[in-house]
């Protein structure tokens, strides 16, 4: 695989770094381009990859393209890449937020096989949650390639495109919900007398540890919750307070609101 990266910002760089660490690709087979020289310099320093003048050069030399530009730059980037490819088939993996397969395929030739993805920001520290869907011409082998690249920076799944707004509302926007929870937990620690820095570390590690328990044990969150909840103890008192204030309903409502907004922004 010759991997070209169009848009070498933080997310594009993180995905390539993860792919390198996982052995999914070697630095000698990666080429990046970005109009911002500072971003390109940071990318090459982090990955050891070569650079290209523009998207046309990427299209000419790379069979797999990671499209990591800002959404409003995607159409121009695909047009340039297609010019460079000169009719040769290419796999394009897009991480551009909100752009549908119809939009992406409408900006590319039929020889370009498109995969749309929705990563989230924890991918930048190797703990991402990403979903992807295949376009009209993408093959099962293309899905395997996408899965290999995206799994290098966390957990990745394939879904039908009709569920991509749900993914956006849950895992795409989800880190912000969790940051709010961590901040609130830390405030509770401060209220009880702990220092701010210690409270944040304890809250963040608690969330990290609880998430690891879900992922590694495979147990339902309700089962794990019950394991911590002793009769008449501190945890059940706290859970009762959370239920009284509608924390569960608020989280469900947050995801629902984000899903609706994603649909509005995407025109679906």
pLDDT value, residue 52: 95
Beta bridge pairs of residue 90: 112
Three-state secondary structure string covering the chain: CCEEEECCCHHHHHHHHHHHHCCCCCHHHEEEECCCHHHHHHHHHHHCCEECCCHHHHHHHCCEEEECCCHHHHHHHHHHHHHHHCCCCEEEEECCCCCCHHHHHHCCCCCEEEEEEECCHHHHHCCEEEEEEECCCCCHHHHHHHHHHHHCCEEEEECCHHHHHHHHHHHHCHHHHHHHHHHHHHHHHHHCCCCHHHHHHHHHHHHHHHHHHHHHHCCCHHHHHHHHCCCCCHHHHHHHHHHHCCHHHHHHHHHHHHHHHHHHHHCC
pTM above the 0.95 mark? no
Do residues 111 and 90 lie in contact, with contact meaning Cβ atoms separated by under 8 Å?
yes
Name the CATH superfamily housing domain 3-163: NAD(P)-binding Rossmann-like Domain (3.40.50.720)
pLDDT value, residue 268: 62
Q: Where are the domains of the chain?
A: 3-163, 172-266
Tell me whether domains 3-163 and 172-266 share a fold: no
Mean pLDDT in each 10-residue stretch from start to end of the chain (268 residues)?
95 93 93 96 96 96 96 95 97 93 96 96 93 97 96 96 96 97 98 98 98 97 97 97 97 96 82
pLDDT value, residue 95: 94
pLDDT value, residue 267: 72
CATH topology of domain 172-266: ProC C-terminal domain-like fold (1.10.3730)
pLDDT value, residue 98: 86
pLDDT value, residue 111: 97
pLDDT value, residue 56: 97
Report pLDDT digits (tens) over 4-28. Answer: 999 999 999 999 999 999 898 999 9
CA–CA separation, 209 vs 13, rounded Å?
27
Beta bridge pairs of residue 156: 130
């Amino acid at each position: 695989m010759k991997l070209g990266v169009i848009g070498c910002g933080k997310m594009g760089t993180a995905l390539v770094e993860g792919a390198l660490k996982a052995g999914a690709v070697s630095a000698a087979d990666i080429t990046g381009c970005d109009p911002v020289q500072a971003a390109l310099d940071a990318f090459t320093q982090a990955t050891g990859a070569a650079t290209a003048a523009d998207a046309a050069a990427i299209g000419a030399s790379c069979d797999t393209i990671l499209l990591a530009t800002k959404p409003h730059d995607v159409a121009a980037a695909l047009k340039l890449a297609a010019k460079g490819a000169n009719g040769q088939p290419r796999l394009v993996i897009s991480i551009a937020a909100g752009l549908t397969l119809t939009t992406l395929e409408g900006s590319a030739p039929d020889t370009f096989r498109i995969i749309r993805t929705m990563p989230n920001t924890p991918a930048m520290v190797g703990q991402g949650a990403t979903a992807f869907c295949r376009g009209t011409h993408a093959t099962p082998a293309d899905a395997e390639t996408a899965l290999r690249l995206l799994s290098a920076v966390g957990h990745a799944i394939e879904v039908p495109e009709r569920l991509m707004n749900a993914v956006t509302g849950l895992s795409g926007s989800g880190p912000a919900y969790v940051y709010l929870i961590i901040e609130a937990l830390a405030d509770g620690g401060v209220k009880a007398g702990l220092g701010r820095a210690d409270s944040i570390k304890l809250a963040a590690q608690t969330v990290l540890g609880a998430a690891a328990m879900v992922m590694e044990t495979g147990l339902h969150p309700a089962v794990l919750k019950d394991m911590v909840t002793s009769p008449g103890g501190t945890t059940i008192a706290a859970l009762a307070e959370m239920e009284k204030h509608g924390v569960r309903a608020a989280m469900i409502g947050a995801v629902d609101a984000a899903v609706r907004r994603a649909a509005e922004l995407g025109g679906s």
